[in-house]
Chain A
Amino acid sequence: MDFIAEGFKKAFVLIVHFDGELLGIIALSLKVSGLALVISSVAGLPTGAFIALKRIPAKGALISVMNTFMGLPPVVAGLFLYLLLSRSGPLGFMGLLYTPWAMVAAQTVLAFPIVTSLTHAAVVGVDPIIRQASMTLGASPFQVTRTIVAEARYGILSGVMAAFGRVMAEVGAILIVGGNIAGRTRVMTTAIALETDKGNFELALALGIILLAISLMINVLLHLVQRKGSLRTELWL
């Protein structure tokens, strides 16, 4: 099990040396995944809540489709977007292939179903008494919705965190649409895949450790935000 110690050692050395190239790769990972997460949340939260709260036809089928797309293989998403964004494809004129934008698009496609589906589940899971109570208290439809969504916020945040985990860990889609170009579209996961291909296992493992450490920090941060939210709620009560 020497290799784990070796990986940690290398990770430590990389961080201490403050390697410029590595920092660029980390920064691009966070930008691409962050932007994809924000876009899919802005679109997915209302969609999920809408599906949960409104009477719409074929609701069951819609939910099944969304749940299926949660398991969309990244390579398939990447290939689909590649063909779409390729110069020979319908959106080729935009020249987005092999840019960070294409990577954001790919990760958004992957994250959106997760945010939508888990938001739907969280909102559906809210005790129906809440809805009845707020209606009895004379709330407008908008206020009712707001109350229910507020009640579901922990479940919704879990969905956002799950989507974040998916996009930060994802490599298949961004490898295809980003091209893993050094200094341009290389992110943590594609760098790890490349170093593994090159046989630099310790370096690849070290990058993996750094990626996990970053994810841990972000999750701790989100957890603190969540806890702060719940403390405030308790004070209100």
Chain B
Amino acid sequence: MRIKRALLVLIATLSLAVSSVAEEPRIRCASTTSTQNSGLFGHILPLFEKKTGIAVDIIAVGTGAAIEIGKRGDADVVFVHAKEQELQAVREGYFTDRHDVMYNDFVLIGPAADPAAIKGVKSVTDAFRKIAATSALFVSRGDKSGTHTKELSIWEKAGMSPKGQAWYLEAGQGMEKTQRIADEKRAYTLTDRGTWLATKEKDRLEMAVVREGDPLLMNQYGVMAVNPERQKHANYARAMKFINWLISREGQEAIASFTDGQGNRLFTPNAR
């Protein structure tokens, strides 16, 4: 009996310890690993919280998973980078109030020696064709992320389907891990400039940008609220406060003022 009572006390204590006390207003935002890992949220969320008193809980997953989490009603707001998919989900009625927030761009990176001689080709689609033609190794995210979606659309534009080819490796991992795999394998990969700038020194990548600047390589980030008519418990009012702040002058300036350690701006605000 003594043991039983001790156990009850232990369970009660731990239960109390796990359940949190006094709640400040919060919202839950499903977003991508690139925004979290670059440190952007660490820079802008304290500013938003200071202004509105609303704390934002970030669930950082791939873009595909983030949209799915929003569709299922497990977040109030979704902040990702796959515009086509976002607009599609809005059309299907899962989300409302989608806005462009900021962009950076994708860059094609590869071994510093550039074995497939990509530098100097006319376009990123040509670069992709050349990688395929020379069977140079290419590492794909392979995880339905925004970057993966972009990469697939470039292959499609280049008129190729690389899946299953011996030189085409699907990592199924986040951007930074994918970069490291590409580095180890002396392979090419498509990355976002934010992750590339933030990590190339730290990870000692022996890689270089071999193609950049194509309009096709623009990486647009957007934010949207979970449709409260579909998901009754979604906190639409607070989600809109967050969205409106992000696209306000104040929010846009917060994004613009975020830089990596070397003073490079990682995201360019472009809300209208």
Which residues from chain A sit less than 8 Å from chain B, CB to CB? 27, 31-32, 34-35, 38-39, 42, 86-89, 92, 95, 97-98, 100-101, 104, 179-182, 184, 194, 197-200
Contact indicator B60/A38 (Cβ below 8 Å)? no
Contact indicator A86/B72 (Cβ below 8 Å)? yes
Contact indicator B14/A38 (Cβ below 8 Å)? yes
Q: Among B10, B37, B58, B72, which residue has its beta carbon within 8 angstroms of that of A87?
A: B72
CB within 8 Å of A: which B2-29 residues: 7, 10-11, 14-15, 17-20, 28
CB within 8 Å of A: which B172-206 residues: 174, 176-177, 180, 199, 202-203
In the assembled complex, the CB of B195 is this many whole angstroms from the nearest CB of chain A, namely 10
Contact indicator B28/A98 (Cβ below 8 Å)? yes
A97–B73 CA distance with the chains assembled, in angstroms = 11
Q: Among A38, A98, A100, A199, which residue has its beta carbon within 8 angstroms of that of B59?
A: A98
A39 contact set on B, CB distance < 8 A: 11
In the assembled complex, the CB of B145 is this many whole angstroms from the nearest CB of chain A, namely 13
Which of B37, B177, B203 has most A Cβ within 10 Å? Answer: B37
Smallest Cβ-Cβ distance to A89: which chain B residue: B72
Q: 7 other contacts beyond A88-B72, A200-B202, with CB at 8 A cut-off?
A: A38-B14, A42-B7, A98-B74, A100-B19, A100-B20, A101-B19, A197-B33
B180 contact set on A, CB distance < 8 A: 199
Instruction: List the 10 shortest-distance A-B pairs measured between CB atoms, nearest first.
Output: A87-B73, A35-B14, A179-B59, A88-B72, A181-B57, A100-B18, A31-B17, A86-B72, A198-B37, A199-B203
Name 15 interchain pairs, CB-CB below 8 A, sorted by A: A35-B11, A35-B18, A38-B10, A39-B11, A86-B74, A87-B72, A95-B233, A98-B57, A98-B74, A100-B18, A100-B19, A179-B57, A180-B60, A181-B58, A199-B199
Which of B19, B58, B59, B202 has most A Cβ within 10 Å? Answer: B59
B104 at interface by CB-CB < 8 Å: no
B268 at interface by CB-CB < 8 Å: no
Contact indicator B73/A86 (Cβ below 8 Å)? yes
A34–B13 CA distance with the chains assembled, in angstroms = 11
A184 contact set on B, CB distance < 8 A: 20, 57
Total interface residues on B, CB under 8 Å, equals 28
B231 at interface by CB-CB < 8 Å: yes
Contact indicator B176/A199 (Cβ below 8 Å)? yes
Contact indicator A197/B18 (Cβ below 8 Å)? no
Q: Among A31, A38, A182, which residue has its beta carbon within 8 angstroms of that of B7?
A: A38
In the assembled complex, the CB of A44 is this many whole angstroms from the nearest CB of chain B, namely 13
A89 contact set on B, CB distance < 8 A: 72
Contact indicator B74/A181 (Cβ below 8 Å)? no
A199–B180 CA distance with the chains assembled, in angstroms = 9
Contact indicator A87/B233 (Cβ below 8 Å)? yes
B60 contact set on A, CB distance < 8 A: 180
Contact indicator A97/B74 (Cβ below 8 Å)? yes
Given A35-B11, A38-B11, also A198-B176 (CB < 8 A):
yes
In the assembled complex, the CB of B10 is this many whole angstroms from the nearest CB of chain A, namely 6
A182 contact set on B, CB distance < 8 A: 57-58
A216–B131 CA distance with the chains assembled, in angstroms = 50
B33 contact set on A, CB distance < 8 A: 197
In the assembled complex, the CB of A20 is this many whole angstroms from the nearest CB of chain B, namely 16
Contact indicator B18/A101 (Cβ below 8 Å)? yes
Smallest Cβ-Cβ distance to B39: which chain A residue: A198
Smallest Cβ-Cβ distance to A86: which chain B residue: B72
Smallest Cβ-Cβ distance to B10: which chain A residue: A38
Q: Among A92, A179, A198, which residue has its beta carbon within 8 angstroms of that of B73?
A: A92
In the assembled complex, the CB of A78 is this many whole angstroms from the nearest CB of chain B, namely 12
A42–B10 CA distance with the chains assembled, in angstroms = 12
In the assembled complex, the CB of A22 is this many whole angstroms from the nearest CB of chain B, namely 16
In the assembled complex, the CB of B209 is this many whole angstroms from the nearest CB of chain A, namely 18
A38 contact set on B, CB distance < 8 A: 7, 10-11, 14
Given A97-B74, A98-B74, also A31-B14 (CB < 8 A):
yes
